[in-house]
Amino acid sequence: MANSASGDSVVDRVVRVIAAFPEGVLDLPLSELAARAQLPLTTAHRLVRQLAAHGLLELGAGGSVRFGLRLWELVNRNSPTLALREAAVPFMEDINQVLNQNVNLAVLDGWDALFVERLSRRGSAVNRAQIAGRMPVHVSSAGIALMAGQPPEVQAEYLRQFHDPALKLAPEELRTLLRESAGNGFAQLAGVVDPDTWGIAVPVRDPRNRTVAALGVVVPLMDVRLQALVPALQTAARGIGRQLNTGREPNAGTSGTSFRSAEFV
């Protein structure tokens, strides 16, 4: 393996190039890509050309770089996330129709809710959950629903490291929120991200009763049809859970988050 003077490998540098794109940015000038990846321009250019030769990146005439269709294809045709999504989408469409709301699906990754699917409806409330976007657990109802379903030792670890002075949310309040969410079978957060909306989310459990995803809607603050929303979400979540294959043991994993991402197989 070739290591640079700073000790990083080619693999590290390839990953830095791919990870250099800020969320939602489709095109990045090569010079900015190099700066963000903390690589010399010539190194970045060489890596981009090599990745472009395989169709994983595309290098435009103006020197801008974007992800190639081939990379999208390779990742999506073999993604565990896609299997979860395929199971969930028909039920998400049902919610979308029956409740006339945006509906989203999230998994836990580290201490974030990572949104893996969203169906929108024209005219429904603003939903900040972008596909492949993240929100910290404590500011999203999906995050709370996901964390409330984790084993006690994971919740304890989460609460131990929790720190968000800007929100004035004490770990003790967060602990209460998680306990209530687990008891009620749904999580509800008002106005943390967008002051005019509620987020409501329920856990999706696989046949082994592990919480593997959260199904949620975002509704206007004045919409108080909670009693109708929650059972509909819970019904859809049970339908999704039944579709999930449980044939595979969770990964022992090599990274700290694998016990979470391996759970939704």
Cβ-proximal residues to 116 (8 Å cutoff; 6+ apart), any chain: 81, 84, 85, 105, 106, 107, 131, 132, 213
Judged by beta carbon, residue 95 or residue 177, the one nearer a copy of itself is: 95
| The binder of a copy of itself chosen from 10, 35, 159, 193 (CB under 8 A) | 10
Q: If you ran DSSP here, which 8-state letter would residue 9 be given?
A: B
| The binder of a copy of itself chosen from 35, 154, 159, 262 (CB under 8 A) | 262
Number of residues that bind a copy of itself (CB under 8 A): 80
Q: If you ran DSSP here, which 8-state letter would residue 250 be given?
A: P
Judged by beta carbon, residue 165 or residue 247, the one nearer a copy of itself is: 247
Q: If you ran DSSP here, which 8-state letter would residue 137 be given?
A: G
Residues 233-252 that bind a copy of itself (CB under 8 A): 248-249, 251-252
Instruction: Report the length, in residues, of the chain.
Output: 265
Sheet holding 112-119, edge to edge: 134-136, 112-119, 103-109, 211-220, 197-205, 187-190
Residues 58-77 that bind a copy of itself (CB under 8 A): 58-62, 66-77
The helix (H) or strand (E) run that includes residue 155 is helix 152-161
Judged by beta carbon, residue 35 or residue 74, the one nearer a copy of itself is: 74
Residue written as tokens 């919409």? 223
Cβ-proximal residues to 197 (8 Å cutoff; 6+ apart), any chain: 125, 126, 190, 191, 218, 219, 220, 221
Judged by beta carbon, residue 13 or residue 138, the one nearer a copy of itself is: 13
Judged by beta carbon, residue 122 or residue 160, the one nearer a copy of itself is: 122
Judged by beta carbon, residue 32 or residue 186, the one nearer a copy of itself is: 32
Residues 11-40 that bind a copy of itself (CB under 8 A): 11-12, 14-15, 18-19, 21, 23-27
Judged by beta carbon, residue 67 or residue 171, the one nearer a copy of itself is: 67
Residue 59, helix vs strand vs coil: strand
Stretch that binds a copy of itself, among 131-139, 144-152, 184-192, 219-227 (CB under 8 A): 131-139
Cβ-proximal residues to 171 (8 Å cutoff; 6+ apart), any chain: 159, 162
Least CB distance to a copy of itself at residue 164 (A): 22
Contact 124, 133 (CB under 8 A): no
Residues 68-127 that bind a copy of itself (CB under 8 A): 68-83, 86, 89-90, 93, 96-97, 107, 109, 114, 116, 119-122
Binding marks (x or -) toward a copy of itself, 178..217, rule CB under 8 A?
----------------------------------------
